[in-house]
Each structure stands twice: as C-alpha cells, then as structure tokens.
Amino acid sequence: MFPKLSPLQWLVAIAFLFFYGFAVFAVTRDYYLRHPPRPAVAAPRTAPDTAASDLGGRMRQALQDTEAAIPAEMLAKDPALLAQEADRLFGAGRYPEAANLYRRLLEVNADDINARNDLGLALYYAGNSGEALKVLRDGTARAPDFQRIWLSLGFVASQSGDIETARAALTKARDLGPDNDIGAEAERLLKTLNQG
C-alpha cells in the first residue's frame, strides 16, 4: 500500500518525477548529438586517385539501380507498362536497354508510331545512327502526317551529316504544324542548317 501523503507531498513527488525524466532525456539526447551512432560495417575505401573522379558515375549508377523497375512478367502482359519502362530507361540515359523495350513494343503493335520514333532516337543516342535513320524513315512512310517523327528524322539526319534528308524532313515537320512547338523547333533547326 501507498503511504498516506498530503496533496503538497504528491505535488512535490510528481514534479520530481517530471524533472527527473526531463533530465534523463536531455542527457541522453546530448550524448547522441555529440556521439552519433556509426554503421556496424565500414564501407570499403577506394584509392584516393580514383575516388573523386568516379564519384559522379557511381552515384548515378546507384540511383539508377535503386529506381523501381517494373517486373518483367508485368511488362510482358501490359504494353502500357512496357512503354512506361522504356521511357524511364530512355530518360535515365540507358539507351540500348530502352531500344530493346521499344522493339518489343513494336512486336506487339507494329503501327505504334510513338514507339518507332522513340526507338529511332534511342538507337541514335546509343551510337547507331544508321539503324536509327532506317527506323525513322520507315516511320515516316507508315505515318506521313505524324509531325514528331519528321522532326526526329531531320534531327538525326542532320547530326549524321545527311543534310539533304535533314532539310527535307525538317521542312515537312515545319509544314505539318508551323504554329506548334514541333513546327517551331523544326524551323529553328532549319535555320541552323542554312547557316552552317
């Protein structure tokens, strides 16, 4: 049983417990601020001469590896998810992988002009200009009124040194919609070609 205490004694006991708890909290907090916990296993150190030069590449690769990729079995069943994953890889600069997924999209739907356009650009950025031009030319033949693929063909052709193809494709892209963003970009690239 508890001893019989007056209200004043109860108040003093409660105040003591409050301040004691606060003091323990403050001392513990101060200790951990001054001595933060360390990981159990230290990370391996790299050689000093390569550490600074490779840091950016390692950080980019770590970010790409931790990005949530869509499981392969879901990609096989859903073309929209396949397109989303291909676009994610393209945006991450992983062009050969993106090109493989755009090819798979075209196996599902050969008339997907957006996928054909994106495949052409992925191939170009992966260093395969010849195949990129072939894919983009095929796309313009399949969808002659699709303005974006004409712009892509003009860009890739100009970067590959095929100025006549570039000029014709960019003119077509501009003429299909001179008042929109794609038409404005085509006009800008045409001016650059004409100045060069």
Same domain, 185 and 131: no
Smallest CA-to-CA distance from 192 within 174, 168, 167 is with: 167
What pLDDT, on the 0 to 100 scale, is given for residue 74? Answer: 52
Domain boundary among 120, 143, 166: 143
Same domain, 138 and 148: no
Same domain, 123 and 152: no
Residues of the chain with pLDDT under 50: 39-53, 55, 59-60, 62-68
pTM for the complete prediction?
A: 0.63
What pLDDT, on the 0 to 100 scale, is given for residue 136? Answer: 96
Same domain, 132 and 179: no
Residue 168's domain comprises 144-196
What pLDDT, on the 0 to 100 scale, is given for residue 7? Answer: 87
Measure the CA–CA gap between 74 and 85, rounded to whole angstroms: 11
* Vertex 66 angle, CA 60 and 69, to 5°: 115
What pLDDT, on the 0 to 100 scale, is given for residue 36? Answer: 65
Q: What does the buried/exposed string (b/e) look like for 34-67 if buried means 16 or more CB atoms within 10 Å of the residue's CB?
A: eeeeeeeeeeeeeeeeeeeeeeeeeeeeeeeeee
Domain boundary among 98, 122, 143: 143
User: Does 175 map to a domain?
Assistant: yes
Same domain, 81 and 136: yes
As for how many domains the chain has, the answer is 2
User: Does 151 map to a domain?
Assistant: yes
CATH code (residue 129): 1.25.40.10
Same domain, 74 and 139: yes
Domain boundary among 109, 126, 143: 143
For the stretch 68-121, pLDDT in tens is 455 555 555 678 888 898 999 999 999 999 999 999 999 988 999 999 999 999
Strand segments, DSSP code E, in 75-160 are none
What pLDDT, on the 0 to 100 scale, is given for residue 34? Answer: 73
User: Does 166 map to a domain?
Assistant: yes
What pLDDT, on the 0 to 100 scale, is given for residue 139? Answer: 95
